[in-house]
Amino acid sequence: MVAFSRLLTGALTFASASIALAAPAGNVTLAERAPVSLSCGADTPPLANMTTPDESQLVVNSAAAVAVPISTVVRVYWNVIYKDATYAGGYLSAAQIASAISALNTQFAGSGITFVRYGTRYYKSVDWFDKVDNQAGMVLTTAMKTLLRVGTAKDLNIYSVGFTTSNLGGFATFPWWYTGAPKLDGVVFKWNTTPGGSLVNYNQGKILTHEVGHWAGLYHTFQGGCSDTGGDYVSDTPAEATPATGCPVGRDTCPGSGADPIRNHMDYTYDTCKSGPFTPGTFSNSTQVAKQANT
């Protein structure tokens, strides 16, 4: 076993926007109508014995930790979970997947990371498409990932699903969860949020960017609220008390810190609002996230 840090310096924070969003009123099927906002499940550990995000997870004291160079290629294995061979049923074409990865690379421009698709698998399952989530023991999620996940800690497994019975936009594992549950590593997100997708306000591929940000070790911009210490651990990201939705220009929930970072990919605003570049603090944070991988 050898430890290495996954991809980026501590918090590779974006100055753009994120994937999480708040449940629509009533029993609205998310595949049919754009919700006011979706929710991001990344703050919920996949197993009960795993820690929630906090500063201690960004500190690496092990001499065995080996830093992965900032300029790196991430192999992407895309798992299309579908319930029938139509777009509405979750069936994404090769062109749609390529467009999503292209958008991901555009939004990570300047990070030194390039995402390259190494494999695509199609798997038909009504239950997984509709009901996979990060709650109630993650029974379906665990079954899905145990069967389909490939590669090592350096590889990104993406699962596009429907979330038709929840208000999730996506969820991801943080790097420090890998050792405890390597098979659960990866990103799960809502299929119709890819570029040109059918979900209004969330169809530029930025939900996936948000979740991949978590996978790389990034927190939400509102992590820690208005606290003077901690937060998202990026010094030049203004503090934010609560998630922003829509595109509330001028919103300032933490007086004295600066306007809320509504353009940041790690907030909850609309895709059209997430237009900011990476902040310099993204790359100045020298702490590394460590995880274990078989070699």
Side-chain-side CA neighbours of residue 8 (13 Å):
29
Three-state secondary structure call for residue 9: strand
Q: Which residue from 104, 111, 158 is spatially nearest to 274, judged by alpha carbons?
A: 104
Place of tokens 């939900």: 207
Catalytic (active site) residue 55: no
Q: Which residue from 12, 10, 160, 151 is spatially nearest to 75, judged by alpha carbons?
A: 151
* Alpha carbon distance 247, 251 (integer Å): 9
Instruction: State both tokens at 241.
Output: 């008390």
Q: Are 276 and 14 in contact (CB under 8 A)?
A: yes
Identify the bridge partners of residue 123 per DSSP, sorted by sequence position. 81
* Alpha carbon distance 26, 29 (integer Å): 9
Q: Which one of the listed residues 32, 55, 211, 240 is annotated catalytic?
A: 211
Sign, Cα dihedral of 13, 19, 25, 27 = negative
Q: In what order do the strands lie in the sheet with 113-124?
A: 39-40, 168-172, 187-190, 156-161, 72-82, 113-124
Strands 2-9 and 288-293: antiparallel
Q: Which residue type occupies 67? A: A
Active site residue ranges: 211
